[in-house]
Structure 1
């Protein structure tokens, strides 16, 4: 079989044409791989989307002590060439008011040429709690993270809109809780953004209506490509078997008008490097069509690949698909 025109041009550039039939299959395979690597590098020169790394992608390494929170920004830059990060408060839970510690985080990120984008907040209470006292306490618990985010140079904190009650009751409570926290965050120039993270919050329409109901321009969404289970067997936000799931593509589309961040969730990949759970071409087209120009944060949670390799696979997929979108 004769080499294709592109392959012929590539072989010529390597001085391998004119050798007649003496080109071995091994040489052709090496040329094919070199050509592929060359094209991949060209695609990555001008990616459509800016990519950040969500710290949860490396949660196993962090919890195991194989990676320290203070080294996260530097590790992200050296391992993946990614220059923006999204922190998770679980990895420095007791340090929200420790300016010495936060200062070290800030310095290391700056020295590595890494931008701190946001902090994902969990475990500080339900901002959609139907009990007013509990809801107000949750708002108070989150305020220190607004201040920490400002100190670190972030633009947002990611929060949850959890609550127990009817959809209407929790929506009304979430509007109150989020609105109150966003009002506090406004002078700090910090956004309060909600991720689809289980129960009612994984219903794109419900969450969009809640955000709109706050009337605050610094209250928005963090659409996640996964996390669309709205009902589990045990009645909780997490843990039980999912028995009802919201359409992820519809959900992301409904949240995008309020998006101040996007989370590219991934678990497993097929032999062609495509995400098995989510059609990234369809999902990234939704993001692009919404006119979104911010960062897309990689959040790898798979087990077939190591965390490092999973992040790289997701990064490669986003760049590859991004280069083909119309």
Structure 2
């Protein structure tokens, strides 16, 4: 197992210009991380392609790896032309991933207001066809693409599995976020157990959970069924993190684990404590 940090964990520092992405990489190395996951929020690799080589070289100089490249995408479009253009754009992002030297890339797949299972079943083959084309493009670089349980529409463990099987490519897997299942009102322990065998990448994130009847107010967001979540430092929230980490470890997963912090606390503190918690739990379980 190689433990590291998603650059998204330090997005507050990136947006405040306290750090640039190269500074994020150094911070991760200085705080015990073994890899950086690149999420281009707070910087743009399409508009600033010179950063691609700079990121790869900085990570090497800092003694850590670049593990994964994670981008947004949505193959739900109004026209066929837009659908084809989105596939082409994501394939260009695959080229960026290759430039970063990664062998894993996460792209989102779909977002809809209507998140019903009926709509999902209607969309599934078109979404799978897009993912299949991107995965085939990525195969030339030896890159495994993945869908994250993310964005409500394809968030529950069964929907993630359905898409993976429909795509039917050995290099299309899932970036398994242990916390995001809660957004679909799914128990993280159960969902991780169901999907860990499909994981090419693991995100460790924690949430505080409150029922729909108890609205805590500012700083919280709603799950698919109206419960309330707020980002937490890993190990401080309501996920049984010890059991989750145990499931991941006992599964034989031995790849990259990224801490993803999105709480209200200071991002440096939240990220550092999250790294320490995952390391401690991994050693203990």
Report the TM-score range of the alignment, normalised by the length of the smaller protein: 0.7 to 0.9
Cα distance in 2 for partners of 1:180, 1:288 equals: 32
TM-score, scaled relative to structure 2: 0.83
Given that 1:224 and 1:265 are in contact with CA atoms closer than 8 Å, whether structure 2 keeps it comes out as yes
Q: Which residue of 1 aligns with 2:249?
A: 288
Deviation of the 1:275 alpha carbon: 2.6
**Within 5 Å, which residues of 2 pair with 1:1-326?**
49-78=1-30, 80-93=31-44, 95-96=45-46, 98-122=48-72, 125-129=73-77, 131-164=79-112, 166-228=119-181, 245-266=185-206, 267-268=231-232, 274-303=235-264, 305-325=265-285
Deviation of the 1:248 alpha carbon: 2.2
How many residues get paired? 256
Deviation of the 1:98 alpha carbon: 5.0
Task: Work out which structure has the larger RCO, using CA pairs closer than 8 Å and 6 or more positions apart in sequence.
Answer: 2
Deviation of the 1:284 alpha carbon: 0.9
Note the alpha carbon deviations across 1:253-295, whole angstroms, 9 max, x for none.
22212111000013435xxx83322111111122123221101
SS of corresponding position for 2:200: coil
TM-score, scaled relative to structure 1: 0.73
Deviation of the 1:173 alpha carbon: 2.1
Cα distance in 2 for partners of 1:187, 1:197 equals: 26
Specify the structure having the higher radius of gyration (Cα): 1
SS of corresponding position for 1:293: coil
Specify whether residues 323 and 308 from structure 1 end up closer, same or farther in structure 2 by C-alpha distance, changes over 3 A only: same
Unaligned runs of 5+ in 2: 207-230
Note the alpha carbon deviations across 1:5-39, whole angstroms, 9 max, x for none.
xxxxxxxxxxxxxxxxxxxxxxxxxxxxxxxxxxx
Which structure is higher in helix share? 1
SS of corresponding position for 2:136: helix
SS of corresponding position for 1:89: coil
Unaligned runs of 5+ in 1: 1-48, 231-243
- Which has the higher mean CA deviation after the structures are superposed, 126-135 or 282-291? 126-135
- Runs of 4+ displaced beyond 6 Å: none
